Amino acid sequence: MEGGEYRIRRFDPSEDLSSVVRLNRVFLPENYPSYFFVENHRRCPEGFLVAEAADGSIVGYIMCRVETKFTDDITLRVGHVLSVAVDRAHRRRGIGRGLMLEAERNLVEERGVDLMYLEVRVSNTPAISLYRKIGYEILGVIPMYYADGEDAYLMYKPTSRSATPDRIRRALGSRVRQVN
């Protein structure tokens, strides 16, 4: 996304770490130490992006990692969205969508990812709406996933023909209870 107001670019640990740690602390209940961000960036720079406003401030980020999941017949490469947030003052302008889609594109093109997935609080309507809008579906519920006891939805989006419904269920289904 490069539309005048915001620019989405790769995370640079020497420039952006403190801004990303701050956004994570202020806007998400799940907080991580600095080294977690640094280590994820080292392993998966393609999936770690920031949104920069015109004044140079960092107003959003996404951090993903690549995992390997075994199915009966093949191994799937899977992109896992670990954390995404946009500063409250900059929401509903397409930044979250831009971060999600650009990270997905990078992971597909540069890491050969077959499938994207994430966990989201069942009460997090804004995030669930965003994920649905860009093609994610709910696989099921992970009971008591969060430290405060709230359940998560596990949501996924196939990004290659290898990610058939049967393989997706074998790769990710053991963690979830079906929703009706």
Q: Which residue among 13, 45, 94, 173 contacts ligand COA (CB under 6 A)?
A: 94
d(CA 81, CA 116): 7
Does the protein bind ligand COA through residue 7 (CB under 6 A)?
no
Does the protein bind ligand COA through residue 97 (CB under 6 A)?
yes
Does the protein bind ligand COA through residue 50 (CB under 6 A)?
no
Does the protein bind ligand COA through residue 86 (CB under 6 A)?
yes
11: how many CB neighbours lie within 10 A of its CB? 22
| Contact stretch for ligand COA (CB under 6 A) within 80-88, 102-110, 156-164, 169-177 | 80-88
Give the angle subtended at the CA of 145 by the CAs of 33 and 24, to the nearest 5°.
30
Give the angle subtended at the CA of 60 by the CAs of 32 and 116, to the nearest 5°.
75
Does the protein bind ligand COA through residue 129 (CB under 6 A)?
yes
**Cβ distance to ligand COA smaller for residue 24 or 106:** 24
Does the protein bind ligand COA through residue 130 (CB under 6 A)?
yes
Residue 81: CB minimum distance to ligand COA, A: 7
- Give burial (CB, 10 Å; 0-12/13-18/19+) of 167: buried
Does the protein bind ligand COA through residue 161 (CB under 6 A)?
no
Give the angle subtended at the CA of 167 by the CAs of 137 and 163, to the nearest 5°.
65
d(CA 25, CA 117): 23
Contact 117, 79 (CB under 8 A): yes
- How many chain residues interact with ligand COA (CB under 6 A)? 20
Q: Which residues bind ligand COA (CB under 6 A)?
A: 27-28, 84-86, 91-97, 120, 124-127, 129-130, 133
